[in-house]
Structures are given as structure tokens and as C-alpha cells.
Amino acid sequence: MYSLVIRGGRPLEGEVTISGAKNAVLPILAATLLTREPCTLRRVPALSDVTFMMRILTALGAKVRAHGDAVTVEAGRVKGIATYDLVRKMRGSICVLGPLLGRLRDAKVSLPGGCVIGSRPIDLHLKGLRALGADVSIQQGYVRVRAPRLAGSEMFLGGRAGPTVLGTANVMMAAVLAEGVTTIQSAACEPEVVDLADFLNAMGARISGAGSPTITITGVGELHGVEHEVIPDRIEAATFAVAAAATRGEVTLRRCRPEHLHAVIDKLQEVGVRITHNRNSMTVRGDAALRSVDVTTQPYAGYPTDAQAQMMVLMTQAPGISLITERVFEARFMHVSELARLGADITIEGPTAIVKGATALSGAPVMASDLRASAALVIAGLVAEGQTTVKRIYHLDRGYEKIDEKLRRLGASVRRVRD
């Protein structure tokens, strides 16, 4: 395993290029299973989750070739079984269920693993697939879906914490090859869902309404190969924006989509951070006085849960009391105890973290519990006086492409060391 050793106290300065979106590329890679023809994806980030997904596609019978930041998948013949050994490390692997059902009408996929950030059941995925006519059973840790015939249907996919992103993706991918019209009510509105719909439409699917709560899919007989560029990662962009603000630096984010970051930009401006942006870049200046704010995570277009831990670090530097309420995942405060090791003053009451700001952080060894907690601990290390060692950064490598190299180019003192 590796750790990051960070010597804090340096403002981040310069430019950083945002990579392709992890949460977009994983379902799009899965969607290549829907056609026998080759598909090429560009701006594919070099992440461990992407590597896992490519291994899954290969094990299912697809030919996968990576060349630079492009990946070509040719799924001429595929099988419908994804075993536990393949999918246990990554929750996103469940998104092969929809395309395998659509393509083969019979699939068996192990229940997935992933970050420990609370219960994330797939009941809404299965509800949607049942609505298309699939027979669904769960036995010995596997989901089995079978449907001699898939037929379009109207369904509601809202859950206790709002719409399901991967559930919406799974149903879309199964429905594109179903007979008739499928309407998803309370669909996820995330940009990653829109990117998947754009990819499927380029393959010959007929999807409308992506990005709104109602998505309509008219089934087609077959899909064809296509080339597609993955959208920028809005969570990576949010992470670097918060890091620039927390270190009181100035960073320009290149090849990002500010229109995907309205909630983050709004909250940072409320904090006192100066932001200017155009169509595909954004400059963040953290040299003004910071103010405490209240943040509540919500489904898109609200403030993203995946940027909650990072904002919490920024709030430790703002005078006053900030309230951060988590409404998407009930166990997403596992980073709080590690931030306390650096000197943060944070109290948890139910779904809310109470952050006492203007706190001087000091370096210490800390342990990452999940992907976004890792990013928060890195930001805290950049702010803290002295040396911080972030352990178990395999979490970080799941979602941030070469983050240590990018930070060094911004002037940070960051070293990757083998434990």
C-alpha cells in the first residue's frame, strides 16, 4: 500500500486540467456491452475503478484495448455472469446488470462492494428492471434477472434519499433494447446520466428528457458502435476548487464544466471565495476573508454529497459555526474523527456536523475511510502546519487521476511513499 506525505502551509497556485468523470465513464463502459460493434471512449481517466471495470468487461468476453486516454471496447460475444471476485471492490460494477439484461435477456451479477459510507441498496434498480418484465431473484449473494421479452413501462424510481443515479442508468441501458416506450419518473438528473444518454443516443438509442426528472426511452432493435468523449469530473473540479480556497491560493481549473458546479460555486462564493469562469474553465481565488456557512447535501442540482467532506475542511478555517447536514448517505461522516486528529473541532448530532471554525490544524498521521474522505484529508494536510501522512490512499486512486502529481504542479509538497 501507499501513503501520501504532505507538508502543509503552501497556497496552491497555477493551473490544473480536470480529468474525465469517473461516475460517467463507468456506466458508459458498461453500455458498450449493448452492441457487437467497437466503441471508443476518449478522456478516460487512469483510475483503479476504471481498471476494475475494464477487467469486468474482459471477463465477460469483450475485447478491451487502452491507448493513451482512450479505451476501445468490442463486445462481439459476451456472457451473462459477473462473479463476486470481479465486482466485490466497486459498487459501480452493478451497472453491468442493465446492459447484460438488455443484450442477453439473462444475467447473473454479484452484489457489489465499494466505499463504506452507509447503506446503498439496489432495490430501485431491481424495481425498474421488474417493471420492464424481468424476473428478479437474489440468491447466495447474486442478482439473477431473466426476461424472454422486455417491454416498455412507466415507473417511479424515487427513493428515501431521492433518485438513484446508477438505478436510472441501469434501467436506461436495459430499456433501450426493450419493445415500446419506457418512462422513468423521478429519474436522476445528474450530468453523468445525461452523458450516458448522449452516448446511447449516439449508438442509435432514442432517449429524451435526460437531465430532467422524467426520461423517456423508445426501444430500438439494435445499437451500433460509436466514439464518445467523457465529460469532465465535476467532483474533481470541486475538490481542487475547495483546496485552492482552503490554502488561500489561486488556481485555474482547465477543461471543466462550470454549469455542472452551480451549487458548489454558489456555496464557495457565500464563503467569500472569489470565482470567475467561462464555458470550460474556472479560476478560484481564496485570498479574501472567509465566512461560515450552512451546507445541506442533496441530489443534483443541489450541493453534492461527494463534495461534503472537502467543504467541511474549508469550514474549519472560517470563523464562526458552520452546520453541514448530510441528506444522501447516512454514514458519511467517518472522516470527522480523522480531521479531529489534525485539530478540527467538529461535533456530530444526527445527520448534522457542527464545525467550529478558525481552527489551526497541525499535521498528524490519518487514515482514509473512503474515496471522498481521502480527498478531505489531503486538503486538510495541505492546510495543516507540519507533516501529515494520509494512509490507505488506494481509496484516493479510485477517483482522482494522479492527484499527487497535479498537486505538486500547483506548488504543494506531496510525496507518495510505500508503507
Please report, as a single letter, which amino acid is at residue 384: A
Which stretches does DSSP call E strand in 222-338?
227-229, 250-254, 274-277, 281-285, 295-296, 321-325
In CATH terms, the superfamily for domain 22-229 is Enolpyruvate transferase domain (3.65.10.10)
Confidence band, pLDDT 50/70/90 cuts, at residue 111: confident
Residues 262-289 pLDDT 10s: 999 999 999 999 999 999 999 999 999 9
Residues 167-178 pLDDT 10s: 999 999 999 999
Residues 297-353 pLDDT 10s: 999 999 999 999 999 999 999 999 999 999 998 778 999 999 999 999 999 999 999
| Ranges of each domain in the chain | 2-19+232-418, 22-229
Provide, rounded to the nearest whole percent, the portion of the chain with pLDDT above 90: 89
Please confirm, yes or no, whether 115 is among the known catalytic residues. Answer: yes
What does the angle CA 382 – CA 48 – CA 234 come to, to the nearest 5 degrees?
60
CATH code for 2-19+232-418? 3.65.10.10
Position of cell 487514515?
367
Q: Which of 39, 95, 115, 256 is catalytic?
A: 115
Q: Quote the pLDDT of residue 120.
A: 47
Q: What pTM was computed for the model?
A: 0.96
Q: Mean pLDDT of all residues in the chain?
A: 95
Q: Is the pLDDT of residue 119 over 90?
A: no
Provide, rounded to the nearest whole percent, the portion of the chain with pLDDT above 70: 97
Confidence band, pLDDT 50/70/90 cuts, at residue 248: very high
Fold: same for 2-19+232-418 and 22-229: yes
d(CA 321, CA 144): 49
Query: End-to-end distance of the chain based on CA atoms, in angstroms?
Result: 6
For the sheet containing 250-254, what is the strand order? Answer: 13-17, 250-254, 281-285, 274-277
Residues 197-228 pLDDT 10s: 999 999 999 999 999 999 999 999 999 999 99
Question: What's the mean pLDDT in 9-31?
Answer: 98
Kindly compute the dihedral angle of the four CA atoms of residues 313, 22, 260, 232, in this order, to the nearest 10 degrees.
Answer: 110
DSSP one-letter string for 201-254: HHTT-EEE-TTSSEEEEE--S-----EEEPPB-HHHHHHHHHHHHHTT-EEEEE
